[in-house]
Amino acid sequence: MPRLLAACAGFLLAVLWMDLMFDVQALGGPAVLPDSVLHSIAAYYARVTTNASPMGSAIGAVMIVAVTGALVRLVREHESRWRNALALVLIAVPVALALLRVFPDAVRLGTGADAAAVRSDLAHAILRGHLFCLASVTAFLILQLRDWQR
């Protein structure tokens, strides 16, 4: 099971890396980002959230496998319950954040329908969410790799 969960984490980290290549344009920027930056980020999110269907479903499927696998480990493996509980939190929280906040914000930003100030707020929120997810999924991956070696 740790191999499967490590593969899920690796996949999710690769997706986050691709997203962050565009998100970093908002890093340290002004409260209202320049139109060129907003257009670049919005065009990317329009492609990956709306125009890339059904490939986006693969990301959701990997998230479900990772959370379900972590939950199964928690229920079945009694000797390392605290570590499995930590692993579940480390993957479930960023998945919930991504599904409930980051993805809807990315879809909205991708439409380009809001004022520049609102789109800037969305871009900054997506960046913060992705940075949190990056840290959490990386920690989850480390736990899986340690368990794989045992």
pLDDT at 70: 98
Structure tokens at 86: 């930590």
- C-alpha–C-alpha distance, residues 38 and 60, integer Å: 26
Return all residues near 140 (Cβ < 8 A) that are at least 6 apart: 5, 9, 66, 70, 87, 90, 91
Q: What is the pLDDT of residues 36-86, one digit of tens each?
A: 999 999 999 999 998 887 888 999 999 999 999 999 999 999 888 999 999
Query: Taking each helix axis from N to C terminus, what angle separates 2-23 and 116-149, rounded to the nearest 10 degrees?
Result: 150
Give residue 134's pLDDT.
Answer: 98
Mean pLDDT of the chain: 95
Residue ranges per structural domain of the chain: 2-149
Neighbouring C-alpha atoms within 13 Å toward the C-beta of 16: 23
Whole-prediction pTM: 0.94
